[in-house]
Amino acid sequence: MDSSLFDYPLPIERIAQEPATQRDASRLMVVDRKTRQITHTTFAQIGEYLPNNARFFRNNAAVLKARIFGQRPTGGKVECLLLQPAEDAITWWCLLRPGKKTLQGGTFGVEGEFTAEVLNAGENGNYRVRFHPVRDESVTDLSERLGIMPLPPYIERSIDDPRRSADNERYQTVYADYDKRVAVAAPTAGLHFTPDLIHQLEARGAQFHDLTLQVGIGTFHPIQVDNILDHNIHHEWYEIPASAYNALQQTSPGPRVAVGTTSVRSIEDAMRRVQVQSSNCLTPSGSVQAEADIFIYPPADFLAVDALITNFHLPKSTLLCLVSGFLSPGDNSGIQWLLELYAEAIAHNYNFYSYGDAMLIR
C-alpha cells in the first residue's frame, strides 16, 4: 500500500503551539461511522455523543522530563533525551546531541549534580548511558529536578521560553500516574479531560479503566518508505491490569471507548497475543504485559474497541494509518474518508497535533 495515500497538506498555522485555555474547551469533531454525519462541538460536550454507560480505556503513563542538558569534559554542551531503561536502573538508552563527539569524549554531566558515562552506540542513533547522580536518587527523580518536558519538534520552544512552566502541567493528563513516569510523549487524546468532566461522566454511569503504554520516540517517526508494509514499526511496552482486561473482554454494558491511539495499540495487541499464546503475556494476577509491535492499517479489524477519541495526526504517520483503519474496519475506504475529514477540519480552523483539537469516532 502506497504511503502517499496517507499524505495531506497542512497549513503551518494549524499546528497548535499552545493548548486551549481550558482543557475541555478544545474543539471536538464527532464522526458517526454508520450515518457518516459530522458534528462540530467542544470536548466538554463529549458525553452528549456517547451512551451514559460508556467505558473509557485510557493510558495513565506520565511523561518523563526526559530532556537533560550537560557538558562534556571539554566544555561542549550536550543534550540528552532519555528513552528507556537498559539493563539496570541507572543505565538508559538515550539520544545524544552531539552523539559522536559525546561518545568519543566518554562522559558528560552537570557539576554537583551528576556524571554520565557513554558506554556504547546502539541502533537508530541511540546510545547506552550510565548515570551517576551525586544525590541518592533515581534517574527519573534526577530528570524530574533537572529535565524539561520533551515536547515534539513541531512545538517550538526556546530553552528559556516562559511557556515551558505551563507545559509541565498541560503536557500531562490529569490522570497521569507519577509512579509510571515511562513516556517520552504524552498520550495526547487524554489531554482534553478535566477532573470535573470525568466526574460528570461517571455520575451519568460511565466507567474509566487505566492501562499503561510506554509512549516512545518512535511515535513521531514518519513512514519513509514507499510501501507502508516495509515500514519498521516501533515497539512499546504496555501493561493492562486484570480489571481492565476483564472489562475489555465484555461487549456490554456500554461501548468500549479508547482514549487515544496508544490505548488502541495496547488493547488490540493484547487481544491478539492472548488469543495466540496467553502464557507469553498473561501474568498470574490476570494482567497483560507485553511489548506492542502491532501495526494497524487498512483494511483492519478491531477486536475490543467500539469508539475512539483521538487528535489530528501528522501526514504519513502510523497513527494516521490506524485512524483511517478504524473509520472503516475491514476495507480501505477509511483512507479517503479521513483525508476528507481532515480537509473539513482545516476549513473549520481546527488545531492539529499534540496540543490541538480532538475527534470522536463512534
DSSP 8-state class, residue 227: B
Report helix, strand or coil for 262. helix
Burial code (b: 16+ CB inside 10 Å, e: under 16) for 281-316 equals: bbeeeebbbbebebbbbbebebebbbbbbbbbbbbb
**Predicted pLDDT of residue 50:** 98
Tens of pLDDT along the chain (362 residues)? 999 999 999 999 999 999 999 999 999 999 999 999 999 999 999 999 999 999 999 999 999 999 999 999 999 999 999 999 998 889 999 999 999 999 999 999 999 999 999 999 998 789 999 999 999 999 999 999 999 999 999 999 988 899 999 999 999 999 999 999 999 999 999 999 999 999 999 999 999 999 999 998 877 788 999 999 999 998 999 999 999 999 999 999 999 999 999 999 999 999 999 988 777 899 999 999 999 999 999 999 999 999 999 999 999 999 999 999 999 999 999 999 999 999 999 999 999 999 999 999 99
Backbone angles phi, psi at 60, to 5 degrees: -95, 15
**Predicted pLDDT of residue 276:** 82
301 Cβ contact partners less than 8 Å away, ≥ 6 residues apart: 329, 330
- The owner of cell 481546527 is 350
CATH of domain 3-63+170-361: 3.40.1780.10
**Predicted pLDDT of residue 273:** 93
SS (H, E, C) 18-75: CCCCCHHHCEEEEECCCCCCEEEEEHHHHHHHCCCCCEEEEECEEECCCEEEEECCCC
Q: Let me know: does 219 contact 353? Beta carbons within 8 Å.
A: no
Q: How far apart are CA 114 and CA 288, in angstroms?
A: 36
**Predicted pLDDT of residue 189:** 98
CATH of domain 67-147: 2.40.10.240
**Predicted pLDDT of residue 219:** 77
Q: Is 129 exposed, middle or buried (0-12, 13-18, 19+ CB in 10 A)?
A: buried
Please list the residues that pair with 38 across neighbouring strands. Answer: 31
Written as one letter, the residue type at 197 is L
Q: Is 49 exposed, middle or buried (0-12, 13-18, 19+ CB in 10 A)?
A: middle
- The owner of cell 531503561 is 85
**Predicted pLDDT of residue 87:** 87
**Predicted pLDDT of residue 110:** 97
Helix (H) or strand (E) holding 144: helix 139-146
Quote the longest CA-to-CA distance of the chain: 64
Sign, CA dihedral 90-91-97-102, equals positive
Phi/psi zone of residue 217: left (φ > 0), alpha (ψ -120 to 50 degrees), beta?
alpha
Q: How far apart are CA 50 and CA 201, in angstroms?
A: 10
**Predicted pLDDT of residue 289:** 96
Question: Please, where in the chain does CATH 3.40.1780.10 lie?
Answer: 3-63+170-361
Question: Please, where in the chain does CATH 2.40.10.240 lie?
Answer: 67-147
**Predicted pLDDT of residue 124:** 79
DSSP-assigned letters across all residues of 287-355: -EEEEE-----SS---SS-SEEEEEPPPTT-HHHHHHHHHHSTTSSHHHHHHHHHHHHHHHTT--BSTT
Phi/psi zone of residue 286: left (φ > 0), alpha (ψ -120 to 50 degrees), beta?
left
Q: Let me know: does 182 contact 214? Beta carbons within 8 Å.
A: yes
> Is the pTM above the cut of 0.85?
yes
Q: How far apart are CA 256 and CA 206, in angstroms?
A: 10
**Predicted pLDDT of residue 125:** 87
